[in-house]
Structure 1
Amino acid sequence: MATMIGSGLSNQTGAAVGALAFPVLGPLGVVAVRQYVAAVVLLAVARPRLRDFTRRQWWPVLLLAAVFGTMNLSLYTAVDRIGLGLAVTLEFLGPLTIALAASRRRLDAGCALLAGAGVVVLMRPRPSADYTGMALGLVAACCWASYILLNRVVGRRIPGAQGAAAASAVSALAFLPLGVLVALRHPPTTAAVLCAVAAGLLSSAVPYLADLLTLRHVPAQTFGLFMSVNPVLAALVGLVVLGQEMGGPEWTGIGAVVVANAVSIATARR
């Protein structure tokens, strides 16, 4: 339980700390640094044999790299525009959709309706609504869903975490010129760089290693159930670290999405 809580808090705290560097680096600069850190960590852990990869193995890796980079960039840009809690909640619709799409149970249909109602509440028309930010949150959700599906393909074709490490390295290379461009146009401060590096460590390295440890001792269903509270953790971290307050309707919408996912996982057949 401690590792699951630590992983969730680390992931959301990393995103919040990265947001502190937005005024200097912008979301693009922070994501670029995060991709570099993730690549270094995963390459050190998995040590992929890139020269041995076949064309059949490289194609899903390249797609995974594109999805990984797009997911983080759209999420962090959404965080910059609509706040951490709302952005993470919308992104969470990706894995929730994957979980519900393959089901034929009436209960899961009800869960889908509940989650949909939560999204309607979150995206309701109002003067302060940032629909571009919300759309980016939904892009992140589509990317997360694609990330899950592609990871299954990569996992079947490449042993261990070598595929994920390779995808992370490719994504980091793609962001390298963008990171250089950001640094040239907006010279980074030491504090901003440290925040971006901390975001990479807290949102990539720590959760990855903690989840590996957790899944050795905790059933996948229990792990998935706990993952459903991430939107709540994101909203709380956003409030404490970034001062992003939300009203009752926003908390209600987040709660609906969390409950829909929790009920679906808790009642799923093992």
Structure 2
Amino acid sequence: MTAFALDDPLDRGPGLPRPGSLLRTAADSIPPSGLVLLGILSVQLGAGFAKELFAALPPSAVVFLRIVAGALIMGAVARPRLRGLSWRSCAVGLGFGVTLAVMNLSFYEALSRLPMGIATAIEFLGPLGVAVAASRRRIDLLWVALAASGVALLTPWGQSGGTAAAVSWAGIGFAMLAGACWAGYILLAAAAGQRFPGTTGLSFAMIVSAVLIAPVGITTGGTDLLRPETLLIGLGVGLLSSVIPYTLELQALRRMPKHAFGILMSLEPAAAALIGVLLLSEVLHLRQWAAVVCIVAASLGSTRMGRRRRRRAAGETPE
């Protein structure tokens, strides 16, 4: 999971790490839309590699590796300072970290039970719900109905066998929990961005989430966590899922409108489905592809309508 711009209705985080000069120079030669697509690809590759680790480690242990890797990297980039913080700021940071931990744990539990595209599509209902709740217009009922239709198409009633990937109720439940946490993450990210300087709020939250996940991850992973190949893949997942996409998205946001960024990010469930097919051989039913398309369309529609409302509020002439 990556980060949306703060004033985008599908925002994911309070700030992004400062990229290194070499990566920034290389990114300058790539169109901003290409940077966003590369960021999406990086996130989904990270999820794919994480899912392959499930054969050796339970999801909770894989989440532990990812969050610890991300916390170490983020802590080095933006070390949080507790001095001068009010107790309310600390409470926001703690809540942010708890939400981050539960969101990642529930999403990885969903990944262990669902194809990547389906898990990501259901999780996307969280930010979509925040966007719709913020607008309160009748047209948004259309996006709610479209997203609900997608979820209905994913339910395993009368599910057939064959070579297509199966869908479980437990997986759907974990994905919905991840989406609910993502919605909470958006709200807490905005609060943390106001109370913590720079990207230190995200660093603080990642450290908290690493501490919370550690007992579960270490207990379930055991000595398998110490294998060099496991540690290496865990570091790679942390880089692919956090540092690289955050850097690419920051560069893209500096060079493109935020509404265009949000529209491109709405394609993430479809990208997840494609990566699942190519990397993990997760063949989906036609009905499952239709469900992913419904949720992507709902996200795209909500983002486009949100942009038009902001333009009218600012007194601009529609395109």
TM range (shorter): over 0.9
TM-score (norm 2): 0.81
* Distance across 2 between alignment mates of 1:177 and 1:33: 12
The separation in 2 between residues aligned to 1:189 and 1:162, in whole angstroms, is 31
In the alignment, which residue of structure 2 is the partner of 1:11? Answer: 43
In terms of Rg, which structure is larger? 2
Q: Specify which of 33, 53, 66 is matched with residue 65 of structure 2.
A: 33
How far does the alpha carbon of each residue in 1:233-268 deviate from its partner, in whole angstroms, 9 at most, with x for none? 000011111111101000100000101110121122
Equivalent residue number for residue 93 of structure 2: 61
1:28 alignment partner AA: S
Q: Name the CA distance, whole Å, in 1 between partners of 2:110 and 2:226.
A: 22
Q: Which among 127, 137, 152 is matched to residue 175 of structure 2?
A: 137
1:93-108 → structure 2 map (5 Å cutoff): 93-108=125-140
Task: Report the Cα offset of residue 187 of structure 1.
Answer: 5.8
> 1:188: Cα distance to partner?
5.3
Q: Name which of 199, 202, 205 aligns with 2:237.
A: 199
Match for 2:122: what amino acid? L
Contact 2:126–2:182 under 8 Å retained in 1? yes
Runs of at least 5 residues in structure 1 that lack an aligned partner in the other structure: none
Residues 138-182 of structure 1: CA deviation (Å, up to 9, x unaligned): 000000000001111111122211111101111112222333323
Q: Could you tell me whether the CA contact under 8 Å between 1:85 and 1:234 is conserved in 2?
A: yes
- Deviation, 1:50, is 2.3
Task: Tell me the equivalent position of 1:20.
Answer: 52
Q: 1:223 aligns with which of 253, 261, 279?
A: 261
**Cα contact 1:25–1:188 (8 A) shared by 2:** no
More helix, by proportion? 1
TM-score (norm 1): 0.95
Q: Partner of 2:245: helix, strand, or coil?
A: helix
Task: Say if 1:20 and 1:192, in contact at 8 Å, map to a contact too.
Answer: no
The unaligned stretches of length 5 or more in structure 2 are 1-32, 160-165, 311-319
Q: Which of 281, 286, 299 matches 1:261? A: 299
For residue 51 of structure 1, give the secondary structure of its aligned residue in structure 2.
Answer: coil
Q: Give distance in 1, aligned partners of 2:233 and 2:174.
A: 23
- Per-residue deviation, residues 172-203 of structure 1 (Å, max 9, x unmatched): 12222333323426465433332222111100
Match of 1:45 in 2: 77
Match of 1:115 among 147, 161, 166: 147
Alpha-carbon contact 2:154-2:167 (below 8 Å) kept? no
Residue of structure 1 aligned with 2:219, choices 160, 181, 184: 181
Identity among equivalent positions (%) equals 36
Pairwise CA RMSD of aligned residues?
Answer: 1.5
Q: Aligned to 1:25, what secondary structure does the other structure show? A: coil
Look up the equivalent residue of 2:291 and give its one-letter code.
Answer: G
Contact 1:10/1:206, CA 8 A, preserved across alignment: yes
SS of corresponding position for 1:81? coil
Letter in 2 for 1:70: V
Q: How many residues align?
A: 270
Q: Distance in 1 between matches of 2:58 and 2:170?
A: 16
Output the amino acid matched with 2:125: L
**Alpha-carbon separation, structure 2, partners of 1:41 and 1:147:** 20
Give the letter for the 1:79 counterpart. Answer: L
